[in-house]
Each structure stands twice: as C-alpha cells, then as structure tokens.
Amino acid sequence: MAAPQKKRTTKNAQSMAKSQREISISEFFTKNRHLLGFDSPAKALLTTIKEAVDNSLDACEEAGIQPQLFVEIRPDQPLNLGIELSSQDEKPKNGNGNKAPAKEDRFKLIIEDNGPGIVKAQIPKIFGKLLYGSKFHSLKQSRGQQGIGISAAGMYGQLTTGQPVVIYSRTGITEPAHRFKVKLDMKKNEPTILEGDETIWEKEHGTRIEITLTGSYKRGQHSVDNYLEQTAIANPHVHLTYKDPKGVTIIYVNSTESLPVEPQEIKPHPYGVELGILARMLTETKARNISAFLKDEFCRVGPKTCEQILTTADISLRKHPKRLLQDDIQRLLDAIEVTKIASPPTDCLSPIGEELVMAGLKNGLEAEFYTSVTRPAAVYRGNPFQIEVGIAYGGKLPGDELAKVIRFANRVPLLYQASACAIHKSVLGASWRNYGVQQSRGALPNAPMVILIHMASVWVPFTSESKEAVAHYPEIVKEMTLALQEAGRKLKRHINRRAREKDALKKQSYIQKYIPFIGEALQEILDIEDSEREEVIATLTDTLERSRKL
Amino acid sequence: MAAPQKKRTTKNAQSMAKSQREISISEFFTKNRHLLGFDSPAKALLTTIKEAVDNSLDACEEAGIQPQLFVEIRPDQPLNLGIELSSQDEKPKNGNGNKAPAKEDRFKLIIEDNGPGIVKAQIPKIFGKLLYGSKFHSLKQSRGQQGIGISAAGMYGQLTTGQPVVIYSRTGITEPAHRFKVKLDMKKNEPTILEGDETIWEKEHGTRIEITLTGSYKRGQHSVDNYLEQTAIANPHVHLTYKDPKGVTIIYVNSTESLPVEPQEIKPHPYGVELGILARMLTETKARNISAFLKDEFCRVGPKTCEQILTTADISLRKHPKRLLQDDIQRLLDAIEVTKIASPPTDCLSPIGEELVMAGLKNGLEAEFYTSVTRPAAVYRGNPFQIEVGIAYGGKLPGDELAKVIRFANRVPLLYQASACAIHKSVLGASWRNYGVQQSRGALPNAPMVILIHMASVWVPFTSESKEAVAHYPEIVKEMTLALQEAGRKLKRHINRRAREKDALKKQSYIQKYIPFIGEALQEILDIEDSEREEVIATLTDTLERSRKL
C-alpha cells in the first residue's frame, strides 16, 4: 500500500468523528428547499398556493362537499425600517458574480375553503411539523400524499419574513371556530403555538390559512394564474374565486355539480411487497395466523389464493405471523411471485374521463380537432394507476412551434421540471412522424398542437418532494406511450383526411379552371349552340361537384 | 354557500383526524426510494457503489491519503428454497398490466478503501441512520453532503434481501480492527447492532463495507463500469481496482500521485443568509455582542464592514445577539443587503483544472480537436461554485448523432436524469449554430462531439436526494452558459479553419488538374520545348503549393 504522498492535514478518524452530527429533517429541507419547490421567489408563491389548494380539495372531496375555494395574493408591506443607500457609491457592485440578494416582494397568501375543517388538536401539527399527515399510509388517489407540503410552505414563510402561519378552522355550525398562530421549531421539527384561541368566524365549516412570505408574482406559463386555470380544467366540479395582487378577481364557476367518483382506499397488492416490508408487516399485524394475515393485510387474496401461496411456500396455514424466520419470509415472497393473483381493484382511482378531458380542452383552446383517450387501469410496483391523454390540433393554435404539453397528476397541474418528467419523456418518445407530425430527433413534435396527459394513481412517484415531475417507472412510461399512440392514430386519420380534402380541392379547382375551355372546344368540334355549350359546362361542373362530395 | 350536493361518505373532521399520523423519515424514503436513486434494480446497484465510493474518496482526501480503492460486484445466491412452478398453466399471466415482479439477481457489493477508518462509536450511526453525517453542516467542497446515501443503500439491501450491512474498519496500525453487522430500524430511524466485535484485518487503516441487495448488472451508458471509468477521468489521483460480476478485474492506475488541492472550510457569506436562518444563528451564537457575532459567524466581515452594517441598521455594536427583536433582525438583513461585501473566498473549491480536463478527454476519446475552460469562481445564494467545460470534437467520434454530454458534480459522474439537469439545459440553450454546429430547436447539438461539464461547489443543489441532476439556479445556468460559449468560440475557430483548409484543398486540386493543360496550351502558343513546358508546369505547381501553405 502506498504511503500517504503528502500529509496535508493532521486529520484522522478521531478528529473527523467530532464533526459527525444528526441532521434534523427541517434543517435538511431548509438547506434543500428546492426539493420542496422553493428554489425561486416565483416558484415559492406558486408552491404555497398549490399545496394549500391541494389540501382543500382533498378535504372537501373526502367529506363529500362540493369545493368552494377562495385564493388571494395580497401585497404585504414590511415595516418601513428607514434604511436607504447613503450614496450611489455605496451601492453594492457585483464582484465576481457575487450579488446582494435582489429585493423581493412580500405577500400574504390566503386560501380559504368550505371543507370539513380540522379538529383543534391536529391544527398545530398539520401546519407546524414536516412529515405529518393522513395520506402517506393510505392507498387511495389523493392530491397530497407526503405530509410535507403545507408545513414546508409555512416554514418558508417563517424563514423569509419571520411570520407564523395563521389558521382559522371550524368543523361545524355547532362547534366554535379556532384561530391559531403556529411556527415550526426547525431544530426539533415540532410546532410552536403562539396563539390558539376560540374565535368568531362567519363560516359554518371550513379552513382558512394565511402565510406571509417573500416571493415574486409573475404571469405566464409557470404562474399562479396558469396553475389555477389548469386546476379548473381538470376539476370541473370546483368553484374557485381568485383575487390577484392587483385586486382583480377572477371566478372559475364549476361546470358540474357532481363530485368526481369517490376513490376507495385499497390494501396493498401482494405483487408490490418486498422482503423488508413483508417482514415488518408480519411483526406489526394483529392477525393470529399467517392465513388470516395474508387475507387481511392484502387485497385480492381470498381463501384459495391464500392456500395456494402457503402450500407453495410450505408454511402451515395456522403458523403465527411473528414466528416466521427470515427463510420462511423469503419462501413466502417467492411463493407470491409464482402464484397467479388478480390485479388490484381500480375503484381506488378517479380519472377525469374522456368526455371531460375533451370538454376541458375545447373550453380553453380554439383548435380544429380534439381527441381524448382514457386507458384501462394498470399497475406499477403493486400500485394501480391510470393514464389519460387529450390532444387539440390545428385551428388557432400557434403553428411553427413545438407542441405544448400540459401535465396533470391526480388532477393537479404540474408546471415545473417538464423535462425531468416521464410525461415529457413519453411525448418525446412517441414517433410523431408516423402520425403526420414533424419531429426533430430528441425534440418535442413541431406542430400546432396541445397534448394533455393525466396520471391518476394511489401513489404518484414524483421525482422530488415538490411533486413537479413523475418518475420514469417503465410501466408508467409504457402506458403513457400506449395512450399517446392511440390518440396519435386518431390524429393521423384527421390529418390524412385533411390532406386528402386539400388535395381534392386543389385538383377540383384545377379541373374547374379548364371546364370552360373544354366547353369551347366541344362547341367548335361538334358545332353546337352557345346554350348547349353552357349546358355541357354546367353538367361537367355538377359532376365534379358530386364526385368531390363522394 | 352551496349545501353538499350528495353526501357520499360520513367522513367529517373528527373521523378524518384519526388517520393523521407522523411519518418517519425512513418510512418516507422507503416509499419514495426513487428519490434516493433506488427506482430500478440497475440503478440500485450503481447508486450503492456510488455512495460508498464517494464516501471513501472524501475520507481519504480529507485525511491526506492517496486513495486506493477496491470495488467488487459478487453474484450472491439466496438459499435454494426449492420453489418451482408446478405446471406451465400456473405461471402468472399479465392481467391488465399487473405483473409478478421480475426475478432479480442478488449481489454482494464490496467497497474497500485505505482511508483513515471510522472510530468504533460512529460506525452504527453512519451506516444505520438516515440524515447523519459530517458534511451537511460544513461549507466545503465534498462529494457527500447529506448524510443519507450510504445508510439508504444499506436500507435498500435490508429491504430486498433482509441482510444487514457488514462493516470492517481500522483507524491505525496500533488500533484494533472492528467488524460490525448493522440494520436500520425503519420506524425509529436508528441503527440496530447485530454484531460489533474486534476482529483481525490485514489492512493498516481503512474501511470495507459489504451490502447484499437485489439488483441488475448491466453494461452501457448508465452502468457501474461507465461510472467507474468516468470517476477515473475526473479523479486522476485515484488508484481503483474493479472486479465485475464475471470476475474480470480492471485496474485504473492513478496518473498522478498528487492529491487535488485541499478545499478549505468556509463560513457562510452574509449575502446568502435569510431572516429565519439569521434569527436562529443569533440565538445559537456564543458571541457576546452583535459585532463579534458578525465577524465570527460570517466570512468577509471585518471590523470596517461590520461597523458599516451595524451603523446602517442602527444597532449598537455592543448589543447582545440574543436581545435583537424581529424588527432589529429585519433591519440587520436590510443593512447587509445594501453594504458592499467582498465575494466569499474560493479556496473552499477544488476544480479539476483545464489541463486535467483536457487530459481526461484525450485519454478516453479519439477526437481531432480538444478544448477546455475553467471559469473563475462565482456565487449563488452565498455559496461559491466554479464551472469547467471540456469539448472533444470530430475524429473518430460518431458523426450523425446528438452530442454526448458528460456531467460531473464535485468530481462525481452524474449518469441519470440528464434532462432534469441544469447542465443539460445549458447545453440545449447554447446557440450551437453560431459555432458551426447543427442543432434542431429544443434538441442537443447534432455533431461528432462530447461535452464535459463539471460543477465544483461547497453545496451542489441537486434536484433530488439521489444527487443525479443539478437544480436550475439562474446563477449556475449563467456560468455554465458562459463556459460553453467560451469553449464554443474555440471550437468555432477550429471548425472554420477546417472548412477553410478543406475549401483550399478543393480549389488546389481543381487547379492542379488544369496545370498540365495550361502547360500544353502555352507550348502551343509560344512554341516552346517539351522541357520548357515541364518547367512551367513545375513552377506553377510549386507556386500553388506555396500559396496553400500561406
């Protein structure tokens, strides 16, 4: 072994051990805030509203209430602290790219719903603790899933303005309303309650949250305005009132009063389980024998399947789950793998539906052709999911540009990180030339086209905690590709028909041009009257007209 | 307010509250394992080796030891459990995309280094607890930074095979070696020590880890082989022995014995601090007055800058840090913003250097042109960083293909999620046509070209915990663009020169073809001898030759 060539430091294992420390989850996400969607002031604004709206819609739907939301971005002035540059000379200059941070705007974001409200005891943790929530452990389609979003938004507000999150909540007309002011203790990842009293609130039931943060309000593709517009497209049952920073109010009226089909919670499917998870489930189960364990803890395991699995694994049906050794567990897993088990139920999913996808596109875009496809449910890692695609083409859509892709996951619009997303990858990968659309290698198709893709699942695998892009699981990309192909073939038929029509029209106008000359020539050869000539011309024109219609 | 249109469930705030739960960080990452780089069997193999190699190289360099690494991927058979399909008919069929998980291979991964070793007390936590490490709280260029990677790899092994991580470590020839078997308690995120005894180990100092997991060994762009090869390119001081699953051994001999310049730890720069962080630093500091606080806790704050900040903020130099109120903190922050403060020191960075970037490219690629650019250090959110670009062009590189982009962050090759990466975005955004290279809209340049980009920083902002792609901070994209432009201009000069040469050559061969005819024509007109004609031809050819050389 080579001796150290040059001892530059006196560091060794002992001195290095001293710097080993535990990292709190809130410290981690403060430093890695871009993972949560807070890497720029504009994005911070959008992410906060998105997390709050997601929660409101989930809560309303779970309680069977038609959502009525109010969203406001209110400019908020910090105290005038009287600091001004003393002279132009002292203005910081950029030395080597080192900039003083740009002055950002301060906003108070208000999101209010008519949902079921939150019981008093839960309020501080939901808004003041990362990794706390109801959706992480449940297999059911919902917008939120991690228990990070809204508390992270509050943490960001606190980080940039020092202000706590303010929450109003009321669970019913016979209950008192509560008003909380909550901060997040970043070392402990626990809520600090500054205020938490009963209050008077005119709302019968619902939740209102106020977060003050520095951010930047912008229009365009990545804007709050665009996010809310797309939310309305994918959620036609939502009534949404939005007041922008200039005080302009936009109302998205719900186009339907019926809530989406309520997704049912399912148990995990045996094909999705892994050794470590199975081992843990076995120690945590309340079942007294392995047979009951399999039937209770998984979906699609009936008495026959159960017996088949256990016979293959050579494990007694009556064995206590906690008595299984590592080898038994491995055998159980191997037996599951070779047993035919029905696909998980799909009533845990609530797709938008072909009709509403199409209606959404028609509502927002003036195209000449629309189509939509809702695929049957499929499964990745034991999780059911379903893909929907909509295409709008031609008409007033911009021509010589790359196609626009609109992405949704569980009805939530995804505005950032398009190129990291499996949806984007699938669109790139579909052979658009086959469908009569131009496409350069490695680029989006080049056409007057908008492509909408929706993934509905009990668990959408996002590429980061900020839930902006879908991870590239092969099963998911495959389903997206199939859906795009199906929609692409429909598009091709339209484009071909259009091309044929154009072609026929061209030929027709060509022949039409010559019909009078044919008339004249016939008149000369057959020596007929002018009226007969006119008749011939009329007959020929008529024949041409009829042939075109066929 | 509209009454609930149809009460589908009986859920209300009370029943919904019951499902609210805390989520442990290890549960979170088990379910979101793709965030850590474990979303496919092939990637799991690569990620595990990558995390272990990163740690080994960091430890060796920190202790001033020239790294000698051994990496092995050893096929590992699980116990033969005697389960076979009883008949063809019982083979599970894919119902609606629901597949039984594909049978994966099982491997034992071994990574051994000659580093400083780890003190006994730290071993379990480093390998059996997520979010535990030495690099998160320090501002210094290093490969690891989060304290997640290696324990996550161990967790994945445990999840898929039930096997613990095995660690050998020795801190010096006078110390005993230790052998640990560690598992991770997924509910508590704490290590469980199965064994932890002294042992005999021939190594004088170093660490060896063994992780058994299911994975998939593949060759190609995303392979372990490719990762190790690129690691050798960016770390010419590393001696690396690699034994692949077939037992074939490849040795990457170090081309230099000198370690990279040792990056120094720096303090945070005032421009990078935010209100919430500043408030926390003020409560945690040991400084007794605000003046000492600013000078001790930040870089680039000397007595003069300190006084200037505090005068602008109207805060007494002797005020105790813990006595500052929220308004004072806001004023302090505003004062920092308007004060001119020098850029942070850059000795915390250790770039590869233009020469070694070029040497690395020349070593691996047969091109006709090479160039490299190391930009001066710049700053984002108070963090110094530095961008390097290398380009190889033409020669034996494949012609009619999109350019290949090789990405590095702190000398670590990034193999996945290219399209999510700021590096990829910068390459897409550079106007390659200006440099004589074809490029379709929205696509990579189309040329026989390899582009290497390295980002060195005290804190690389990755888009996920798996550290596969750099987040799109505007300052970072800007520096990458500048580096690409600089390299692009050099490439353009080469391509232009090539074009001119080709053009001249074409003209020359054209004239050359006619010289003999000119000779003959002159002979006829002037009636000269054959020898004179030959002389004229020679002279003309010679003149042409010389003009070309000019």
- Per-residue model confidence (pLDDT) at position B31: 84
- Per-residue model confidence (pLDDT) at position B406: 95
Q: How far B193 CA lies from chain A's nearest CA (Å)? A: 17
Q: What is the mean pLDDT of chain B?
A: 88
Measured between CB atoms, does B95 come within 8 Å of chain A? yes
Q: Please check the confidence at residue A515 and state whether its pLDDT lies above 80.
A: no
Separation between Cα atoms, residue A47 and residue A53, nearest integer Å? 10
Amino acid at A261: V
Per the structure block, which two tokens stand in for A534? 């006119």
- Per-residue model confidence (pLDDT) at position B82: 46
Element housing B280 (H / E): helix B275-284
- Per-residue model confidence (pLDDT) at position B90: 38
Q: Which of B27, B40, B426, B463 should one mutate to test binding to chain A, selecting the residue with the greatest count of A CBs within 10 A?
A: B463
Q: What is the mean pLDDT of chain A?
A: 88
How many DSSP H helices and E strands does chain B contain? 14, 18
- Per-residue model confidence (pLDDT) at position A367: 95
List the single residue in B with minimal CA-CA distance to A335: B83
Per the structure block, which two tokens stand in for B81? 């459990």
Q: Please check the confidence at residue A164 and state whether its pLDDT lies above 70.
A: yes
Q: Please check the confidence at residue B460 and state whether its pLDDT lies above 80.
A: yes
- Tens of pLDDT along B104-133? 689 999 999 999 999 999 999 999 999 888
- Mark yes or no for CB contact A443/B442 under 8 Å: yes
Q: Please check the confidence at residue B101 and state whether its pLDDT lies above 80.
A: no
**If we measure between CA atoms, which residue out of A302, A301, A315 comes closest to residue A272?**
A301
**If we measure between CA atoms, which residue out of B236, B207, B430, B250 comes closest to residue B350?**
B236
Measured between CB atoms, does A216 come within 8 Å of chain B? no
- Per-residue model confidence (pLDDT) at position A10: 61
Chain A residues with beta carbon closer than 8 angstroms to that of B205? 13
Which of A96-100, B122-126, B379-383 reaches the highest mean pLDDT? B122-126
Which of A7-11, A408-412, A504-508, A542-546 reaches the highest mean pLDDT? A408-412
Q: Please check the confidence at residue B543 and state whether its pLDDT lies above 80.
A: no
Query: Which of the residue ranges A183-192, A346-355, B6-15 would you say has the lowest mean pLDDT?
Result: B6-15
Query: Which of the residue ranges A442-451, A541-550, B432-441, B497-506 would you say has the lowest mean pLDDT?
Result: A541-550
Chain B residues with beta carbon closer than 8 angstroms to that of A118? 13, 17
List the single residue in A with minimal CA-CA distance to B92: A340
| Cα–Cα distance list, B44 to A459, B155, B227 (Å) | 21, 11, 13
Separation between Cα atoms, residue B45 and residue B226, nearest integer Å? 13
Contact A148, A465 (CB under 8 A): yes
- Tens of pLDDT along A289-331? 999 999 999 999 999 999 999 999 999 999 999 999 988 999 9
Chain B residues with beta carbon closer than 8 angstroms to that of A402? 441-442
Q: What sign does the dihedral A415-A420-A423-A428 (CA atoms) show?
A: positive
Chain B residues with beta carbon closer than 8 angstroms to that of A125? 20, 22
Phi, psi of A507 (to 5 degrees): -60, -45
C-beta neighbour count of A93 within 10 angstroms: 10
Q: Which of A15, A36, A68, A81 should one mutate to test binding to chain B, selecting the residue with the greatest count of B CBs within 10 A?
A: A81
Mean pLDDT, residues A78-104: 45
Chain B residues with beta carbon closer than 8 angstroms to that of A149? none
- Nearest by CB to residue B159, choosing from A24, A161, A275, is A275
Chain A residues with beta carbon closer than 8 angstroms to that of B78? 330
- Per-residue model confidence (pLDDT) at position A386: 96
- Counting one residue from A and one from B, how many pairs have CB atoms under 8 Å apart? 410
- Tens of pLDDT along A352-372? 999 989 988 888 789 999 999
Residue that wins the pLDDT comparison between B176 and A233 = B176
- Mark yes or no for CB contact B379/A63 under 8 Å: no
- Tens of pLDDT along B181-217? 999 998 889 999 999 999 999 999 999 999 999 999 9
SS (H, E, C) A383-419: EEEEEEEEEEECCCCCCCCECEEEEEECCEEECCCHH
- Mark yes or no for CB contact B12/A116 under 8 Å: yes
Q: Please check the confidence at residue B148 and state whether its pLDDT lies above 60.
A: yes
Q: Please check the confidence at residue A38 and state whether its pLDDT lies above 60.
A: yes
Q: What percent of chain A has pLDDT over 90?
A: 60
Contact A388, A433 (CB under 8 A): no
Measured between CB atoms, does A289 come within 8 Å of chain B? no
Contact B169, B178 (CB under 8 A): yes
- Per-residue model confidence (pLDDT) at position A1: 40
Q: Which pLDDT band, with edges at 50, 70 and 90, does A8 fall under?
A: low
Separation between Cα atoms, residue A450 and residue A365, nearest integer Å? 9
> Is the interface score ipTM higher than 0.85?
no
- Per-residue model confidence (pLDDT) at position B1: 41
pTM for this prediction: 0.82
**If we measure between CA atoms, which residue out of B419, B418, B443 comes closest to residue B432?**
B443
Interface of B with A in 219-248 (CB under 8 A): 239
Measured between CB atoms, does B473 come within 8 Å of chain A? yes
- Tens of pLDDT along A374-402? 999 998 888 899 999 999 999 999 988 89
- Per-residue model confidence (pLDDT) at position A166: 97
List the single residue in A with minimal CA-CA distance to B336: A100
Phi/psi zone of residue B483: left (φ > 0), alpha (ψ -120 to 50 degrees), beta?
Answer: alpha
Q: Please check the confidence at residue A549 and state whether its pLDDT lies above 70.
A: no
Q: Which pLDDT band, with edges at 50, 70 and 90, does A96 fall under?
A: very low
- Nearest by CB to residue A66, choosing from B5, B91, B376, is B5
- Mark yes or no for CB contact B327/A103 under 8 Å: no
Measured between CB atoms, does A4 come within 8 Å of chain B? yes
Residue that wins the pLDDT comparison between B400 and A267 = A267
**If we measure between CA atoms, which residue out of B99, B103, B100, B84 comes closest to residue B214?**
B103
Interface of A with B in 489-518 (CB under 8 A): none
